[in-house]
Homo-oligomer: A and B are copies of this chain.
Amino acid sequence: MKYKIGLVGFGTVGQGFVEILAEKGAEFKEKYGMEVEVVAISDPIKGSVYAEEGLNLNKVLELKGDLSAYPNCVKGWDSIKTITATNADVIVEVTPTNIKTGEPGLTHIRAALNNNKHTITTNKGPVALAYSELAALSLAKGVNFRFEGTVMAGTPSLNVGLEALAGIGIKEIRGILNGTTNYILTNMEQGTPYSDALSEAQKLGYAEAKPDADVEGWDALAKVVILGNVVMGGNLKVEDIERQGITGLTVQDIETAKSEGKCYKLIGKVWREGNQVKGSVEPQKLNKSDLLAQVGGVRNAITFVTDELNEVTITGPGAGRRETGFAIISDLINLHRKQ
């Protein structure tokens, strides 16, 4: 089966996705009978290209900074025209996350679903803000809406909760959902003050110049809402979640924890309380025997607290160019299996 992709956004994740596809497309076709073609890319900075017979991915990658040099194709279509007027049947939405408005991703995803196109995103904003609306819309339109990459990048998390653990009762999910803060806390444990650890994270590209989304817990909060609503069937809103970031933690706090044989982690958590699902994000002091306490650096981890299997934990990378790009591949394979 052949899928024609319209890629909306061509930043790190979009490029990681195209890279994997360029290298492994032939393997996916042979192994899964899944043929994937990128027919259009639209990015407000890098430019927009559309070729209904499919773009040459190696050529696209060579040009990464400037798609305007791509030869013989339609140029300059904006995101909405790319979503609605190309022959793409799967829209991959990878614009930057905005947890307050969900835009521009939310508008893109609505347009894609309303035009009966399967939609895959790694953009946390729209899923955190409007999961139930978008899920209902995709159902009504008879298309797939998938977003594995919104939590722990390509490390299977939503798929584990929804599919590999299907049939189990999940009482609670807690995890290290943000790699940047985990990197900073791991460094603070080795004696580095917060501001130096943050600078280091910025130098390595883990944290942004304006690091609030990470260090104030917004990124983890978006993932908490997604886990609570998607995996636990809750009805959480962003504003329902108690949120505390790591900026209040001092080296002294961390030393005290250490002297008690514990360590601080920024823990995102969802749990059932009566008929409701609740959520929180806050630094917690964990015993060293807690597996989450052992997850250092930029790695992420999720523990599912279940009825039949007690605790099941999965850990892996939570960000990265190819790591998140792979989440889109994973969603495509899942979509393909459902056809």
In the bound complex, do residue B308 and residue A312 qualify as a contact, i.e. CB atoms below 8 Å apart?
no
Q: List chain B residues, Cβ under 8 A from A316.
A: 309-313
Closest residue on chain B to residue A296 by CB atoms: B289
In the bound complex, do residue B156 and residue A160 qualify as a contact, i.e. CB atoms below 8 Å apart?
yes
The one of B160, B294, B296, B322 that contacts A308, using a Cβ cutoff of 8 Å: B322
Q: Is A79 an interface residue (CB 8 A)?
A: no
In the bound complex, do residue B166 and residue A164 qualify as a contact, i.e. CB atoms below 8 Å apart?
no
Q: Is A139 an interface residue (CB 8 A)?
A: no
CB within 8 Å for A315 and B312 given contacts A163-B163, A166-B32, A330-B167: yes
In the bound complex, do residue A164 and residue B167 qualify as a contact, i.e. CB atoms below 8 Å apart?
no
Q: Is A314 an interface residue (CB 8 A)?
A: yes
The complex is assembled from copies of this chain, and their number is 2
The one of B20, B294, B314 that contacts A312, using a Cβ cutoff of 8 Å: B314
Closest residue on chain B to residue A16 by CB atoms: B308
In the bound complex, do residue A164 and residue B156 qualify as a contact, i.e. CB atoms below 8 Å apart?
yes
Q: List chain B residues, Cβ under 8 A from A160.
A: 156, 160, 164, 314
In the bound complex, do residue B314 and residue A326 qualify as a contact, i.e. CB atoms below 8 Å apart?
no
Distance in angstroms from A158 CB to nearest chain B CB is 10
Distance in angstroms from A327 CB to nearest chain B CB is 9
Q: Is A329 an interface residue (CB 8 A)?
A: yes
Closest residue on chain B to residue A311 by CB atoms: B316
CB within 8 Å for A166 and B333 given contacts A314-B313, A315-B291, A315-B313: yes
Docked CA distance A165–B148 (Å): 11
Closest residue on chain B to residue A148 by CB atoms: B164
Q: Is A155 an interface residue (CB 8 A)?
A: yes
Q: Is A202 an interface residue (CB 8 A)?
A: no
In the bound complex, do residue A167 and residue B329 qualify as a contact, i.e. CB atoms below 8 Å apart?
yes
Distance in angstroms from A155 CB to nearest chain B CB is 6
Docked CA distance A311–B298 (Å): 13
Q: Is A12 an interface residue (CB 8 A)?
A: no
Q: Which of A320-339 contact B (CB under 8 A)?
A: 322-323, 325-326, 329-330, 332-334
In the bound complex, do residue A323 and residue B295 qualify as a contact, i.e. CB atoms below 8 Å apart?
no
5 A-B pairs whose Cβ atoms sit less than 8 Å apart in the complex: A28-B167, A160-B164, A160-B314, A163-B164, A309-B323
A contact set with B: CB distance below 8 Å: 20, 24, 28, 32, 153-156, 159-160, 163-168, 289, 291, 294-296, 308-317, 322-323, 325-326, 329-330, 332-334
Known contacts A24-B167, A294-B294, A308-B325, then 4 further A-B pairs from the complex at CB < 8 Å, ordered by chain A residue? A32-B166, A167-B333, A291-B315, A310-B323
